[in-house]
Structure formats: C-alpha cells, structure tokens
Amino acid sequence: MNIMIMGAGALGSLFGGLLSQHHQVTLVGRGRHIETMRDNGLKIEGATLLHAWPKCIMDIETIEKTSLPDIVILAVKAYDTEEAIKQCLPVIGPDTRIMTFQNGLGNVETIQDHVPDTHIIGGITSHGATRLDPGMIRHGGIGDTVIGHLSCDDHENIQKVADIFTASGIITSISENIGKEIWSKTIVNSAINPITALLGEPNGAILEDPGLVDLVKKIVSEGVSVANSIGMELIRDRTIDMTLDIARRTAKNRSSMLQDVEATRRTEIDHINGVIVRMGQEKGIEAKFNNALLDAVKVRERGEIDKDIIKKIALLDS
C-alpha cells in the first residue's frame, strides 16, 4: 500500500520504518532527522532492530497527484492537528483513509471538520519510542495497538489496515468503540507522561516508588470519573491496572512529554490533563491532581525546575 505519515517524530518514524518493510511509505517531517534518513536510512534499536529506508520529504507538495496515498497517518502533536490535516487535503483521494495515532483528546473532532467520518480511523498505541539522534530511533517498549472506524459500515477496510499493521510487526486489534479506547489511553497518559516529565525519569521510575503508584491511582481515578460523566463507562481499577502495566512494559522508555521538556519544546499537556480538568469543571467534577500536574508542567515548559513538585502534588489530600 501507499502510506504517508505526517510527523516524523519518534512514533511516526518507528511506524514508518516498520511499515516500509512491505509497503511504500513516505515520512513527512523537517530538519536534520529527515535529511539524515534520506541519506542514510532510518536505524531502529532496542525492542526492534531494523535499518529501514522509507521515503522522506519535507514538502507535501512534492507528492505526485497521480500516486495518492491509500492511508495518511497523522502522528503530529495534538496542537498541530488542524494545520496538518489542512496540508494533507490536496493528497487525500476519494479512497484515502485518515488515521490518527496522537496523544490526547480532540484530534478526531478536528479531523472531522475536514474529512467525512467514513474516511477516518482512530488509533491508539502504547509502543514506546525515543528519537536518539537524527536518523536513529530507540524502540523502548512493545505495546498494544488498537484501531477503530468512526463509521460502522467499513469493516472490510478496517480489517485490511489491521492486517497490514500486524504483518509489519505492529500487532493491531480492532475496537467497536474507538472513542472509549482513546479516552482510556488519554487517562493512562495523564498519569505517566507528566509524572515522568517532572521527575526527568523513564516510565519505570513510577513503579519503584509506592508514593508514585498511589499518585497514579488518584490521577487515573479523576480521569475515569470525568470520562464516565459523558458515558464512557470505564472501570476504575481496570484503568489503573492498565496504566501500571503500560509503565511496566515500557519501563525503559522516556515518555513523549519528558522528551519534549528535555528539548524545551511545547508539550501536549493541554490536550491531556488540560482537557480532563476543563471537562471536569463542566460536569462539576474536581480534578485537582490533574490540575496540579497541568500547572506544574506549564512551569516546567518555561525551564523552571522544582525537584519537590511531585511530592507537593502527592500531598494534596493531606
């Protein structure tokens, strides 16, 4: 298949490299990472050992209109979704499917403003990936990948996509309620990502401290309460177990939010904890731990470091 991936960050590059083993893949990004992959290929180490050669471009306008992609995968930051989908519109054909593998909430809704539901596939993944150097990715942990269609009458296409991913080493299952899956993943991220970003440690550090495990339970509980207030029907204990299991399976991975603060980039905190806080306020549900993390990461984005901030947040109930 002809697959285009918007966003050559760690996850986009990982999936691009794996899919390029059997399919025509075009990675769209910028900077030295794209230049290095164009000249020397993409090297993946860690859980996957692979030297791949996806096509790498910086300008989507160079894509030939006679060879439109079958699948466009959005792997950009949540705050770039609007701009990314607008850039993609000229290369979206009548049979092109748009997939989102992005953190946070609201990405699907943004895509829906430009593309019919029948052409949108939602996706989540707990694979861990870190960009080590230009042209080099570390696959930090193998996780689950779930996809689902917004329209219930496209089962053949969704199964075909799942089979393609699985055959490329990305074991993929199909959900009949991808919205619920996206909420679950956002709640997982609401705990793991900001804690690791503030600690400056990989995911596994959470499991080494009973106090952090307890904090995870409080953060997740808030998220579940907010999700259930809009009909998601999540189970609190199951979501907590899922969060801790993902932290365990990706113990060596440095979360995307940690990578962002280390590189002094804007994080996706507004689209993860920020959404939970705002929706909680609308429903009269207090999400004080999510709110504290939101504020703390905002401070961290400005380069200010408070080594005791996690301890202070954990004591909010005291």
> What pLDDT does 193 receive?
97
> What pLDDT does 112 receive?
96
Bridge partners (DSSP) listed for residue 28 = 6, 57
C-alpha dihedral (99, 101, 103, 108), degrees to nearest 10? 10
Is residue 220 pLDDT above 80, yes or no?
A: yes
Q: What is the pTM of this model?
A: 0.93
> What pLDDT does 66 receive?
67
71-75, 226-230, 271-275, 301-305: segment of lowest average pLDDT? 301-305
How far, CA to CA in Å, does 71 sit from each of 37, 242, 249? 21, 29, 29
Domains defined for the chain, CATH in brackets: 2-176 (3.40.50.720), 180-314 (1.10.1040.10)
> What pLDDT does 22 receive?
96
Q: What is the C-alpha to C-alpha distance for residues 240 and 217, in angstroms, rounded to an integer? A: 6
Catalytic residue (one of 185, 283, 288, 311): 185
Burial letters for 270-283: b for 16+ Cβ neighbours within 10 Å, e otherwise?
bbbbbbbbbbbeee
Is residue 239 pLDDT above 80, yes or no?
A: yes
Structure confidence at residue 152 as a pLDDT band (50, 70, 90): low
Q: What is the C-alpha to C-alpha distance for residues 266 and 301, in angstroms, rounded to an integer? A: 7
160 is a catalytic site residue: no
How far from chain centre, in Å, is Cα 96?
Answer: 21
Angle ∠(293,144,159) on CA atoms, nearest 5: 130
> What pLDDT does 1 receive?
94
Q: 108-115: long-range contacts at Cβ-Cβ below 8 A with a sequence spacing of 24 or more? A: 108/150, 108/179, 108/182, 110/81, 110/82, 110/85, 111/74, 111/81, 111/85, 112/150, 114/85, 114/86, 114/89, 115/85
